[in-house]
Structure 1
Amino acid sequence: MQTNHATPQPQVAIAFLSDPRSHDGAAVTRVDTHAAMVFLAGDRAYKLKRAVRYPYLDYATVEKRRAACLAEWTINRRTAPTLYLGVQAVLRGLDGVLRLAPLSDAVDDAANAEAVDWVVTMRRFPDEALFDRMAERHALTPPLMRRLAERIAAFHAAAEPRRDGGGLAGMRAVVDGNIDALQSFPTLFPADRVARLAERSAAALDRLRAVLGDRRRDGFVRHCHGDLHLRNIVLLDGAPTLFDAIEFDEALAVTDVVYDLAFLLMDLDHRGLRALGDAVLNRYVEETGDVGGLAALPLFLSARAAVRAKVLAAAGEVNPDMAAQADAEARRYLDHAIAALEPPPPRLVAVGGLSGSGKSRLAEELAPDLGAAPGALVLRSDALRKRLWGVAETDRLPPEAYAPDITARVYGGLAERARLALSVGQAVVIDAVCASPDERALFESVAADAAARFDGLWLDAPLDLRAQRVTNRRDDASDATAEVVKRQESYDLGAMRWARLDAGRVASDVLAEALKRLV
């Protein structure tokens, strides 16, 4: 809630920004949030900080708003340099006339003009380009979400490592703050449900004590985005673009990179888009190699959901008109937070079959339904082989990259990654040919060593269909050709203990049968 001691907002600045004459006659649309007013005019957006002071931010004076505008511009240019254009002052000259001026002009002309207020000037984009709007109209796709994951992974890699945040202390502060806030709404959140969340969260913090500390020491705590949900992502010039990162409290943004990612994963899961979340998670892990961070993912997802629960509860209290809707959604987020800390046990599913049998598609479609949110980690032999060779997924490898010793390294790498993922509680789907009994036995042994359930699925499809499928592939990690498919006909598969599925049918029928086998 807002506290007092804030200097009243200069109404002349609001009137000036609302006036089409200030924007060469362009119509002005105003969008209000709890902390800002955004004025949309022509191809620009002007973000004016409200003169408010909350427990977590302070925009109470003109000077503080200036500093916040500069911080927002600086921080968000890391991910959206073409979106954030600069900081401008609403200047009042000696004649009383107001004008928008760059920061440098405000400094140079300080003797002749007063900065009434400050704005962040941004390039305007259509609301339909926001990812939350795209989600509502089912316009988000797995390829787009994988590109988003690549953007996030690159951003995290470039972000400044920090050892003064995150870790056990940082997460304990988040969890304790959530529980305290939820307990302050006793008529909204049942006491037994909040107590259950508190108990599960405390157990997770205790279990992850060393993990969280090690990750901070090893550089996984960085100056991240801090508010990475769908509404703060936009499709700009055809590319997923992160914006509106937290600038008002660095402590909220200096955190574990997987906690940063967890807000997006939780948002997708809460909207019923788990498959898209699984696509993001898998691509992010492929890009970063950060399998170990999955150990803390249930706690991170839970904390993000609890944050949303308390924010919605407060919003309902401030705005009675939306209280019923906000309260119902807040309770759903509390349920989400508890469920995240009660994940099913990890399991390993291996999908094998000759080239063109449909392994990769089936593995991708199975993953969201397996294990904890947002789904299983998919380990692909084709992708790992390309990484071991140091080339992009779609680059074609020479024949020597498929020599027996290289293939043995690939399968060993898959087994190693699966072993690590299972050890931190993550379900795994392996996508590999698995033509030999020894290769299949390797993955069975990984599950046995982890005391995890194992299911092996073998896909059968006619030769001509498999050849047609590989011929029609585009931008794929596999190098298989129709000639390779024909050569594979001579493989001696040995005794097949895995469940055999007819993969010559339409993909939806194959998926339905596979899911029945995995119940």
Structure 2
Amino acid sequence: MDIFKALMNKEAYDNTPRHVKVIQTHISWVFLTGKYAYKVKKPVNFGFLDFTTLRKRAYYCRREFEINRMFSPELYISVLPIVKEAGGRVKINGNGKLIEYCIKMKEIEQSKILARIIKNKGISKSILNKIINILVNYYAVAEAGKNIDKYGSVSIIRYNWEENFEQTKSFVGIAIEKKDFELIKKEVYKFISHNKQLLRERVREGKIKWCHGDLHSANIFVDKGKVYIFDAIEFNRRFACSDIACDIAFFIMDLEFRGLYKEASYFLNKFIKATNDNKLAKLINFYKCYRAYVRGKVTSFKLYDNHIGKKEKGLAKITAAKYFDLAKRYAMNM
């Protein structure tokens, strides 16, 4: 059954939309119907995630729904079955043989994505305050405990960095200069070595949570003054679980990458005040360095993707170099 082709048919939906559009990534399809969006996981296995069976896709649909509903309950509506009816038609939430699952969400125009809003007119303190409020409320009830704490351990933090450096060796001399690669490496390991006590204190103080994991402006909608945070990671504990400092560092780094240094400083200071987490400031450049480096790495992966054209690869190389340069600047100020 070609689920993609089936869900491009308007008759697959309850509300019989006028049109169906699709946005896709390497791991999912999102079918846009005007009023609602329906997200379907692709049957793929990339090592760091495995959606190859219907049972796994069902589990991760529910898990994604549970986590993201804590951020944006008005955006995430339900997890629904997709069935093949007796006559052969595919229907969401119909009667027939179960063939797939989807997450039903409120559809919001792509122009309302915060990254696009920032590009056009920046970001207001009001929106920053609303983002802080959502995050503070989420972290207060986010999953935590012994099974989560290990992701804030010195050994896991070091492993995450070792993986980064191993996975970017082939980009040295292409997207990152060798001297910058070595400088970042040296400063990162020095910081970890000199701050083991601080990192352990963060674990003892309960700062390691199941976080958003992918907190940047392209994963935030702003619609009529209302903020919706979405697309939190559900498929990999090591990617999602971290010190909350590492989570907000992603958003702060993203603001600074876009040149919004004053706004980034405002966000950090307000967040620290709201949480009374003064130790966070000692870690923020370390975690901003991590987030910038990972973005540089992921963007660099496009350089070896045969499905991407020459022009897009050229842009990816420039963007990756900018992220690596930002990581270097953070490394020099940890």
- The two structures have a TM-score, normalised by structure 1, of 0.60
- The DSSP-based 3-state class of the residue aligned with 1:77 is helix
CA distance in 2, matches of 1:120, 1:237: 24
1:164 positional shift: 2.9
- Residue in 2 that maps onto 1:96: 88
Asked if 2 retains the 8 angstrom alpha-carbon contact of 1:38 and 1:48, the reply is yes
1:320 to 300, 303, 309: 309
Superposed counterparts of 1:257-406, under 5 Å: 257-318=244-305, 319-321=308-310, 322-343=312-333
Structure 2 counterpart of 1:118, one-letter code: Y
Structure 1 window deviating more from structure 2 (21-30 vs 34-43): it is 21-30
Structure 1 residue 139: Cα displacement: 4.2
Q: CA deviation at 1:64?
A: 1.7
Secondary structure of residue in 2 paired with 1:165: helix
TM-fit CA distance, 1:317: 2.0
Sequence identity percentage: 26
Q: Deviations over 1:239-283 (max 9, x none)?
A: 222111001102211110111000000000011011111111111
Work out whether residues 11 and 91 of structure 2, in 8 Å CA contact, stay in contact via their aligned partners in 1: no
Structural RMSD (CA): 1.7
CA–CA separation in structure 2 for the residues paired with 1:148 and 1:94:
46
> Are residues 25 and 145 of structure 1, via their aligned partners in 2, closer, same or farther at CA, if it must alter by over 3 Å?
closer
Q: Match of 1:119, as an amino acid?
A: C
Q: Deviations over 1:213-248 (max 9, x none)?
A: 110111011111111111111124532221110011
Equivalent residue number for residue 148 of structure 1: 131
> Where does structure 1 lack aligned partners over 5 or more consecutive residues?
1-9, 344-424, 426-519
1:8-157 matches, cutoff 5 A: 10-11=1-2, 13-23=3-13, 24-101=16-93, 113-157=96-140
Task: Give the SS at the match of 1:311.
Answer: helix
When residues 79 and 29 of structure 1 are mapped into structure 2, their CA distance, relative to the original with a 3 A threshold, is same
Give the secondary structure class of the aligned counterpart of 2:121: coil
1:190 and 2:177 matched: yes
Length, aligned pairs only: 325
| Cα distance, 1:186–1:91 mapped onto 2, change above 3 Å | same
Alignment partner for residue 161 of structure 1, among 114, 132, 144? 144
Which residue type is aligned with residue 144 of structure 2? P
Aligned to 1:414: none
Distance in structure 2 (CA, Å) of the matches to 1:17 and 1:69: 17
Q: Which runs of 4+ in 1 moved over 4 A?
A: none
Q: Which has the larger radius of gyration?
A: 1
Q: Could you say which structure has the greater relative contact order, defined with CA pairs below 8 angstroms and 6 or more residues apart?
A: 2
Q: How far is the alpha carbon of 1:51 from its aligned partner?
A: 1.8
Work out which of the residue numbers 218, 231, 234 in structure 1 matches 2:205: 218
| Structure-2 separation of matches of 1:263 and 1:25 | 36
How far apart in 2 are the matches of 1:340 and 1:187? 20
Deviates more, 1:300-309 or 1:191-200: 191-200
Asked if 2 retains the 8 angstrom alpha-carbon contact of 1:298 and 1:341, the reply is: yes
Question: In structure 1, the residue corresponding to 2:150 is in which secondary structure?
Answer: coil
- The separation in 2 between residues aligned to 1:187 and 1:164, in whole angstroms, is 35
CA displacement at 1:326 relative to structure 2: 0.4
- Report if aligned partners of 1:91, 1:99 keep a CA contact under 8 Å in 2: yes
C-alpha change, 1:131 and 1:25, in structure 2 (3 Å) is: closer
Q: Which runs of 5+ in 2 are unaligned?
A: none
